[in-house]
Homo-oligomer: A and B are copies of this chain.
Amino acid sequence: MSEAVITRLSRMARWEPDARGRMTRAALDLYAEQGFEQTTTAQIAERAGVTERTYFRHFADKREVLFDGGHELEAAVAATIAAAPDATDPLDVVGEAVASAVAVLEERREFAARRAAVVAATPRLQERELLKLAGLRDAAAAALRGRGVPEPDASMVAEAGVGAFRVGFEAWIASGQARPVADEVRSALAALRARARG
């Protein structure tokens, strides 16, 4: 290979736009094709046209590439909870905040479904997902306390809300996205309400 070609290729690779997006797509594709454990970060970097070092500058570890933007979700839910009218039932506040947040996944149906399949097949990715959900749960609980809900009520209502998020999302995926996600979430929470009346 001539030096000119090498120079040209390296220039393209260096500043091609959307390196993050390329890495995310490369990772999801590779994880789906050959499994998470069988994929190396070097492979992801190569397919995205960057070096391994660049990958680790964008993402903390091999898993984090599938969990970008989790912080925005958390902030959105907390803000929605905080902005709800006073005297609204806390369980409804959390339920609606979660339902509206999960609805944004509807715009990326295909991506969300592929990602969910990979996560479901990989314990180490489930761990990370659970940690993100725990962050969401803590943010929700803090927002509820900010509304005057005491403990342990705030924590338990937050647990229920995030639980509905998870159960509703899984039902949405399992059903081939038949009903809107938000409805699945509301159904899950309604079921708990009914059971809690015992």
Contacts and interface: CB of A to CB of B under 8 A. Distances in A.
A contact face: mostly helix, strand, loop, or mixed: helix
A195 B192 CA distance: 11
A181 interface: no
23 contacts: A89-B198, A91-B196, A92-B198, A126-B131, A130-B134, A152-B171, A152-B188, A152-B191, A153-B192, A155-B163, A155-B170, A155-B188, A156-B160, A156-B167, A157-B192, A159-B160, A160-B160, A160-B163, A160-B192, A192-B196, A193-B196, A196-B197, A197-B197
Given A91-B198, A127-B131, 20 more contacts: A90-B195, A92-B198, A126-B134, A127-B130, A152-B167, A152-B188, A153-B191, A155-B163, A155-B167, A155-B170, A156-B163, A156-B188, A156-B192, A157-B192, A159-B164, A159-B166, A159-B192, A160-B192, A160-B196, A197-B197
Nearest to A166: B159
A121 to B, nearest CB: 14
A189 interface: yes
A187 interface: yes
Nearest to A128: B127
A148 interface: no
A123 interface: yes
Contact of A152 (B91, B157, B187, B197): B187
Interface of A: 89-92, 123, 126-128, 130-131, 133-134, 151-153, 155-157, 159-160, 163-164, 166-168, 170-171, 187-189, 191-198
A197 B134 CA distance: 25
A113 to B, nearest CB: 19
Given A123-B131, A131-B127, A196-B197, A159 B152 contact: no
Q: Which residue, A123, A157, A195, has most C-beta atoms of chain B within 10 A?
A: A195
Nearest to A159: B163
